[in-house]
Amino acid sequence: MKIIKIGIIANVEKEGAAEHTARLRDWAVKRGLEVYLEKGIAAKVGEHWGFERHELAPRVDMVVVFGGDGTLLMAARSLREYDVPILGVNLGSFGYLTVVNLNEMYGALEMIMKGEYRIENRMMLDAVVTRDKEQISEHTILNDVVINQGNLCRLVELETFVDDRYLTTFKADGLIISTPTGSTAYSLSAGGPIVFPQLGSIIINPICPHTLTNRPVILPGTVTIKVASWTEKGGATLTLDGQISFVMNRGDIVTVKKSKYCTKLIVSTHRDYLEILRSKLGWGGGPSGVYSG
């Protein structure tokens, strides 16, 4: 697909966000491209117009997101209904999702303008909360669904079913249900496996389980997971992508399954996923030269 219309979303709290947005806008306009700015960053760069995300997405061929992985997660949720690819540009060191550094951005964009780019479809999850048989909340997320006890130091009790078949009741500090993309986020910190983003799997990972034989489980992306909270003395806390949270009551049920939506990421033209893992996880060294490919 030829790119002729670019949208820009930026974390206005990040240092340099306005400066780099203005430079990219000017660079793109000089090349005959149309540029549409999100409302918040438009105001920061002195534009008198700007668009809400749901207004911007249908107008553009791609969206550039300035910020970190958190900014991209927020953008992914906002753009879930639109078939628009996202290029994440990190304003610090590159992340798992915002894999293009500032010094690589214009080179990457030149290649994208030539059609020399690749898109990865990243699986998303739908999470629905039911209370007394009534749906009270619904969200689509890219990284993870986390249920824990918040700031209170007590175990949560989470009765868990897979395709309506009982799995176990986790008594733990919490439970993480993540996508392959989210496997390198909170789930990894809690001892979960790294799952390549191309795999359509769902990871269930208990946080500090009371029963030490409780371990992470990787499930097919076709299953539906239901988790009922039976935590005593107050509800557990449900957190989505680390950015949306609310308190669950005893008896609330969270239903999680693969979403019909996906996030379309334009992947780095400078490095592959293995290199990203080596850099972010501090895996040292390089090939010995013995293996020639």
Whether residue 69 lies in the annotated active site: yes
Strand partners, 171: 157
- Helix (H) / strand (E) element for 276: namely helix 273-281
DSSP letter at 283?
-
**171: how many CB neighbours lie within 10 A of its CB?**
16
3-state secondary structure (DSSP) of residue 23:
helix
Contact assessment for residue 75 and residue 85, using Cβ atoms and an 8 Å cutoff? no
Tell me which of 26, 61, 69, 164 is the catalytic residue: 69
DSSP letter at 57?
G
Distance CA 174, CA 186 (A): 11
3-state secondary structure (DSSP) of residue 62:
strand
The token pair that represents 16 in the structure block: 């340099």
What backbone torsions phi and psi does residue 205 show, to the nearest 5 degrees?
Answer: -135, 110
Contact assessment for residue 7 and residue 60, using Cβ atoms and an 8 Å cutoff? yes
Q: Which residues are catalytic?
A: 69
